[in-house]
Structure formats: structure tokens, C-alpha cells
């Protein structure tokens, strides 16, 4: 790896770690613990929906109100446009959920969001290929960007494992008989400012080696098309462009280390691995 390639790859990691929680946000407390971070400018809206400011500038939802109730009120009053999909609310990646909320509200309250990403790999003629999806043009976030063969948020009540199986059927028509071979490989975290708000995300990353003759088929309309590309070409595309959805770049960079395109024991790999575990807390 050349220094310029490292710089080009690391810019994607920097873009996904732009949030300065302590400086630009206020802690948001519900269910007797800090679960999110909100912009001070959003506090005026929250105060109209039962949230109060406690000492030490902690925005607090009183115990008689659930986080789901707050989310519903924000949507009903047109403060947030609903996505009509509930997500579990986690104080930290390994904690039990304390409630659930419409997915659309998560960035406004700076809650932790969780998702799964699958690297769909194929080996033929001694070369490694990767299935790439193109997001549909109607997608609310990042339309027409390149994406993984399978990726999606984890709905309330689901684990990352059964979410992966569900998304594989819905997005790419991958049968469970193939999905049982998917292997969990890594965890990626970051906190960033996005147009939709504060993203504090946890991504569960999987690899799946697919047969040469397998052809993914869009099933739920969220993917426009699929393309099989040499992994080396994907590497250069990530280095040189912003064609991929913002967080897909991180999962691919992680894959490049695992596949040896970036030397696993190099100083570059060490810095990248550290960068892929961005801070979720101040």
C-alpha cells in the first residue's frame, strides 16, 4: 500500500467520525440512563414533548413517558418524518434494549443505531470477486449509491444474525441454504454528523462465499441492480471515488485487510483498525 492510498482510504474513516459529542451536543437521558445526544437547538422542540433540562445540562425524559411515546409524538407533530419501522434503543452496544422507537427518530435523539452488512464473495480463476448492489433511486438515504449485496438496519426484536437472513431474502433472494455459511467477522462503530442528524452506528460485518453460478435477484425494490466486480477493482474504486454509500466504505476497508490487499501487520492496517472502532461516547 502506498501512502497516498492510505490517505485516500482513511478519508472515508474521518468522514464517519465527525461528531464532537461533548462540544456540540447535550446528553439525553431516559429510562434512568444516558441513551443519546441531542443538539441544543433541538431542546426547544423536546421541551414541548415533556423533556426537561436537569442539572449539568442533561436533557431528561421523565419516567412516566416511554421513549416510544416521545418518538410517536415527534412524528405526529411533524417534527420527524416516520419510517414506520421500530428499532430497539440501546444505551451501549452490549446492553439490553430499554425500549423501541421509530427508526427515523434515532438520529434526532443521537441514539445508537445498529445494522448488518454482508460481503458477498466469489472465487473464480484464482481471483476474488465481490457482488456490488446499486441502491434504488427512490431510497430516502443515499439513493443510487453503491452498496453491499445485503445490508440493513436491525429491527426491534431481531438479532444481527436473523436480520441478515431476512435482508438476504428480501434484498438479493439469497436462500437460507446459502446463508447458513455466512460468517460474522467484525464490528465497526462511528459517530458522525449527517443530513438526517447524529449517527452513532454499530455495524455487524459478515462474509459469505457464494457459488460462481449464483446470481442475486432484487426482491423488495430497494436495489436497482447487482454487479460482480474484482475485489482489486473495488479497492481502487474506494480509494479514488465516493461511489459507495458512506458506511459501506468502512466495511470494505475492513474486508481489504482481511483479504490481504492491505497487509494485515502493517502500520497502515493498525491505524485503520483503530479508526474503524470510532467513539460512540465522549
Predicted TM-score of the model (pTM): 0.96
pLDDT band at 1 (very low <50, low <70, confident <90, very high): confident
pLDDT band at 222 (very low <50, low <70, confident <90, very high): confident
What integer pLDDT is reported at residue 2 of this predicted model?
A: 80
Q: What is the dihedral of CA 26, 272, 139, 70, to 10 degrees?
A: -20
Domain 3-18+113-275 of CATH type 3.90.79.10: yes
Domain 26-109 of CATH type 3.30.750.160: yes
Q: Give the domain ranges of the chain.
A: 3-18+113-275, 26-109
231-240 helix and 3-15 helix, angle to the nearest 10 degrees: 70
| Whole-angstrom Cα Rg for the chain | 20
pLDDT band at 193 (very low <50, low <70, confident <90, very high): very high
CB atoms within 10 A of CB 173: 14
Which pLDDT tens digit goes with each residue over 84-117? Answer: 999 999 999 999 999 999 999 999 999 999 999 9
Amino acid at each position: 500500500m502506498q501512502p497516498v492510498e492510505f490517505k485516500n482510504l482513511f478519508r472515508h474513516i474521518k468522514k464517519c467520525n465527525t461528531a464532537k459529542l461533548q462540544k456540540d451536543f447535550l446528553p439525553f437521558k431516559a429510562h434512568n440512563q444516558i441513551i443519546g445526544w441531542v443538539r441544543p437547538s433541538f431542546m426547544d422542540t423536546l421541551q414541548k414533548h415533556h423533556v426537561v433540562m436537569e442539572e449539568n445540562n442533561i436533557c431528561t425524559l421523565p419516567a412516566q413517558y416511554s421513549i416510544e411515546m416521545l418518538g410517536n409524538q415527534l412524528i405526529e407533530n411533524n417534527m420527524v418524518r416516520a419510517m414506520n419501522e421500530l428499532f430497539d434503543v440501546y444505551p451501549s452496544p452490549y446492553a439490553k434494549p430499554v425500549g423501541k422507537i421509530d427508526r427515523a427518530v434515532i438520529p434526532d435523539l443521537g441514539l445508537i443505531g445498529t445494522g448488518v452488512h454482508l460481503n458477498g464473495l466469489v472465487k473464480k480463476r484464482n481471483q476474488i470477486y465481490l457482488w456490488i448492489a446499486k441502491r434504488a433511486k427512490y431510497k430516502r438515504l443515499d439513493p443510487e449509491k453503491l452498496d453491499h449485496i445485503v445490508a440493513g438496519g436491525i429491527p426491534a426484536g431481531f438479532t444481527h444474525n436473523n436480520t441478515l437472513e431476512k435482508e438476504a431474502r428480501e434484498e438479493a433472494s439469497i436462500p437460507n441454504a446459502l446463508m447458513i455459511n455466512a460468517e460474522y467477522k467484525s464490528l465497526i462503530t462511528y459517530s458522525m454528523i449527517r443530513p438526517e442528524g447524529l449517527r452513532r452506528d454499530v455495524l455487524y460485518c459478515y462474509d459469505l462465499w457464494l457459488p460462481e453460478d449464483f446470481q442475486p435477484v432484487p426482491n423488495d425494490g430497494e436495489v436497482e441492480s447487482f454487479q460482480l466486480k474484482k475485489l482489486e477493482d473495488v479497492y481502487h474504486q474506494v480509494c479514488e471515488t465516493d461511489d459507495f454509500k458512506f458506511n459501506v466504505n468502512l466495511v470494505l476497508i475492513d474486508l481489504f485487510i482481511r483479504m490481504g490487499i492491505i497487509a494485515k501487520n502493517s502500520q497502515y492496517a493498525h491505524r485503520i483498525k483503530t479508526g474503524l472502532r470510532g467513539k460512540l461516547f465522549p
